[in-house]
Amino acid sequence: MTRTIVASATREIAIGFDQPFCVIGERINPTGRRKLAAELAEGNFDTVRRDALEQVAAGATMLDINAGVTAVDPNATEPGLMVQVLQIVQDLVDIPLAIDSSVTAAIEAGLKVARGRPLINSVTGEEDKLEAILPLARKYDVPVVAISNDETGISMDPDVRFEVARKIVERAMDHGIRPEDVVVDPLVMPIGALGDAGRQVFALLRRLRDELKVNTTCGLSNISFGLPHRHGINAGFIPMVIGAGMTSAIMNPCRPQEMEAVRAADVLAGNDRDCATWIRNYKDFRHGTQATPLAPQPDANTRRRGGRAARLGASA
């Protein structure tokens, strides 16, 4: 089975088809959040701290970290801000992180201070991105998210998106990066604008699982963009993509309806051993009252370790 290993300073997580679904908390991202963007620009990290703690308490497996607050010379401003946010989050919580940026310098700055084995988010099929990001993934021995678009943009043809994913996996191998360290984002389209977006992604996920044998992720809420009651759509989408082979998603773990769908899908897929996570979270659920979110506990998907230093020492 394909397993993508990510780690914090002391905790290792396996993303895989036979593992509990990996929930990558999306909240530490100023895109579309004016208040957070303004705070970060001012050097105020109160919301970052609150979002980190709340997402972990709600059950996030990992946290996505994005510090892109300005389009004005981001190469000069974003790397330092990324480092600050990463260090603050790592001092608060001990789960793996995804370093999320379109600025190569910010990704490398983050990799230099990240503890354990973070995930790079992301590389595309564009030549300049491949040659900028893949060497970093190899240099720091970290996995990378591969987004299925290239210089031609995002194709509406799922077969084209599959071939872009294949290209990225093959180019990663040319750089000495194993397929299990490439997590493909097949690009989820809004169902309100593209009526077969669901069928497209389900078919793509099966091909990525069966033909390329890679783990996958997505921006989960893209599917419901523009529709009312988006959390209902998202919650229905989750077990369907998990059944089709998706192994992680960037999403908001603080939405109880969506986290219930994740945990139920894990139970039904046989990836919640003895239903332990479900029971731990919902044993006191009564008459429609909301269960209190519980912090994740170590299980078969989580192992303690000594981070990058220990890994390098073990391989010496």
What confidence tens digit (pLDDT) does each residue in 14-42 have? 999 999 999 999 999 999 999 999 999 99
The pLDDT tens digits of the residues spanning 144-197 come to 999 999 999 999 999 999 999 999 999 999 999 999 999 999 999 999 999 999
Mean per-residue pLDDT for 258-284?
97
What does pTM read for this prediction? 0.91
Amino acid 316: pLDDT: 35
User: What single-letter amino acid sits at 147?
Assistant: I
Contact 101, 144 (CB under 8 A): no
pLDDT surpasses 50 at 308 = no
Distance CA 118, CA 217 (A): 15
Distance CA 63, CA 98 (A): 6
Contact 257, 232 (CB under 8 A): yes
pLDDT classification of 134: cutoffs 50, 70, 90: very high
For residues 292 and 221, the model is more confident at 221
pLDDT classification of 302: cutoffs 50, 70, 90: low
Amino acid 287: pLDDT: 58
pLDDT classification of 76: cutoffs 50, 70, 90: confident
DSSP assignment string, the chain? --EEEEE-SSEEEEEETTS--EEEE--S--TT-HHHHHHHHHT--HHHHHHHHHHHHHT-SEEEEE----SSSHHHHHHHHHHHHHHHHHHH--S-EEEE-S-HHHHHHHHHH--SB-EEEEE-SSHHHHHHHHHHHHHHT--EEEES-BTTB--S-HHHHHHHHHHHHHHHHHTT--GGGEEEE--PPPTTT-TTHHHHHHHHHHHIIIII--EE--BGGGGGTT-SSHHHHHHHHHHHHHHHT--EEEE-TT-HHHHHHHHHHHHHTT-SGGGHHHHHHHTT--TTPPPPP------TTEEE--HHHHHHHHH-
